[in-house]
Structure 1
Amino acid sequence: MGKPPNLYSFRSVAELAPSLRTYVLNQQKAAFEHHNTFRVAVSGGSLPKTLAQALLAPSDGSPGDSVDFTKWQIFFADERCVPLDHEDSNYKLLKEELLDKIPEKMGKPNVWPIDEEYLDDVQEMADQYEKNIVSVFAARDSVKLPLFDLLLLGCGPDGHTCSLFPDHPLLRETDAWVLSISDSPKPPPRRITLSLPVVIAGTKIAFVTTGGGKKDVMKKIFESEEGRGLPCGLINEGGGDKVSWFTDDSAVEGVSFPRRGSLM
């Protein structure tokens, strides 16, 4: 690994949200300047709620402090093979926490959910979702990996992220962009997920991780050889300073890794 990842820690989620907003809007600006669209992949868990706190806050009126959702392309870093209105659906979670609450003046993003037609065939669902990504990024044979402008991820207590789990064979996949998993250690068992190379290839990668229940795995990820082999640790190693962690203080209690100040 070259430069290490960035670790930002805040007293509370309320204090974290403004810096996460600044970070996301900085990436939005860079993406608009580069190709006039903002291609984002998001996970589920507590992330959509925190993201809504960050992005739906009133603008402070300064240049660059406004979200233009009309140019956003939102994909799912992973998704459960359930109907879109199911309680386990990451799409449902994002829709309820963020998408349904976007004011009209901010515009509406283009969102890419899974196709419910393939709920009974998890591999076909992964293949179809990869085709969606191809349609936005480029022809599959002309681009080795899609380059998301930003991936917004969570970290599980076991160090998993997306639906990439510790010691799982999917971590060794190098070619496919979207993978299927039928034996997830965390229910529901059938899911699709971006591959590790796709995540690491992202222009910027942000983890949003809060709560005292994460301090043990955070200590492991940032301080131990074992932790560097966990999915989140592998992304730290592969992404280096492209990776930023936004945490509250309780999630990094006892973690001896240098913290950065606010982005505000």
Structure 2
Amino acid sequence: MAAASVETREKSELRIFENLDDLATDLAEYISQLSEISVRERGSFTIALSGGPLVGLIGKLCEAPYSMTVDWTRWYIFWTDERAVAKNHADSNYKTTKERFLSKVPILNSHVYSINDNVTVEDAAGEYEFAIRQLVKLRKLGVSESNDCPKFDLIILSMGPDGHVASLFPDHPALRVKDEWVTFITDSPEPPPERITFTLPVINSASNVAVVVTGEDKATAARAAVSGKCERTDCSSLFPARMVWPIDGTLAWFLDKPAASDLGNAEH
């Protein structure tokens, strides 16, 4: 059960949980409900995942009742960002997701879109964007009427202690990319340095965006991103999570108590 669930800023919901198990349970229900709605209305469910601890938190979906009730054959899986490493490398988001999630549910292999790990990071980003554009042409993936970007049913992000989401890091030029759906970086402040990432216009075009934040080391960034309280005038570039704001969609924050510890009375 959520420790608190309140509205915070327009079209944004804040959910705070006593522990990770409660957060994972609520997150699974949230994803399941969106999947059911999308499949019923459009015949498919397009979801983009981040790496890190997020994969472990969505593990509840592999258990009953979701393992039996979710229409897995209608799912299309993407990654908001990926490290430019081999698919069997320990740093690969695909490898982690495959081992901890994809191998446990009957999602069709042809519906899983991983990056090409045999080309340069620049070419990998270009190929990934091309694959997304093909799905748009096939009408498996919607398009935002506001900016012609792909409209994923759900994008799930995790946030780093520095406030980064996907592979969009504080004050990085990638934050300002407007004319591409997928871009690449070669200077990530966290290893490995080469990565591809969705751009902000794509993230903000999703029908639903969920940001999952856990751990006390994220408390300062969570305060700046969620509550809007920041003493600096350039907070958005310093905390990229503040720039996540769906144009025509909804935003849900999932925080555990330690991550929410610096929010003061924001959860009441």
What TM-score, normalized to structure 2? 0.85
Give the superposition deviation at 1:107: 4.8
- Separation of aligned partners in 2, 1:184 and 1:85: 20
What TM-score, normalized to structure 1? 0.87
Deviation per CA, 1:39-61: give whole Å up to 9, x if none: 010000000000113x1221189
8 Å CA contact 2:115–2:128 kept in 1: the answer is: yes
Candidates 9, 21, 25, aligned match of 1:14: 21
Q: 1:42 to 1:100 in 2, by over 3 A?
A: same
Q: Aligned runs of 1:94-133 on 2, under 5 Å?
A: 94-102=97-105, 106-108=106-108, 110-118=111-119, 121-133=120-132
Deviation per CA, 1:91-115: give whole Å up to 9, x if none: 001011111222xxx5546211111
Give the superposition deviation at 1:4: 5.0
Q: Which runs of 5+ in 1 are unaligned?
A: none
Equivalent residue of 2:63, what SS? coil
- Separation of aligned partners in 2, 1:219 and 1:101: 35
Query: What is the aligned partner in structure 1 of residue 157 from structure 2?
Result: 153
Q: Which runs of 5+ in 2 are unaligned?
A: 1-7
Identity of aligned residues (%): 35
Give the superposition deviation at 1:187: 0.9
Query: What is the aligned partner in structure 1 of residue 64 from structure 2?
Result: 58
Query: What is the aligned partner in structure 1 of residue 193 from structure 2?
Result: 189
Give the superposition deviation at 1:163: 0.5
Q: 1:5 to 1:226 in 2, by over 3 A?
A: farther
8 Å CA contact 2:83–2:93 kept in 1: the answer is: yes
8 Å CA contact 1:44–1:90 kept in 2: the answer is: yes
Equivalent residue of 1:117, what SS? coil
Query: What is the aligned partner in structure 1 of residue 259 from structure 2?
Result: 251
Q: 1:86 to 1:107 in 2, by over 3 A?
A: closer
Give the superposition deviation at 1:148: 0.3
Higher relative contact order (CA 8 A, sep 6+): 1
Q: Aligned runs of 1:188-227 on 2, under 5 Å?
A: 188-221=192-225, 222=227, 223-224=229-230, 226-227=234-235
- Amino acid corresponding to residue 63 of structure 2 in structure 1: A
- Separation of aligned partners in 2, 1:92 and 1:166: 26
Equivalent residue of 2:15, what SS? strand
- Separation of aligned partners in 1, 2:200 and 2:163: 14
- Separation of aligned partners in 1, 2:195 and 2:74: 28
- Separation of aligned partners in 2, 1:2 and 1:60: 31
- Amino acid corresponding to residue 178 of structure 2 in structure 1: T
Query: What is the aligned partner in structure 2 of residue 35 from structure 1?
Result: 42
Is residue 2:84 matched to residue 1:76? no
- Amino acid corresponding to residue 125 of structure 2 in structure 1: A
Give the superposition deviation at 1:254: 2.6
* Number of residue equivalences: 249
Q: What do you get for the CA RMSD once the two structures are aligned?
A: 2.5
Deviation per CA, 1:179-214: give whole Å up to 9, x if none: 011111111110000000000000000011111111
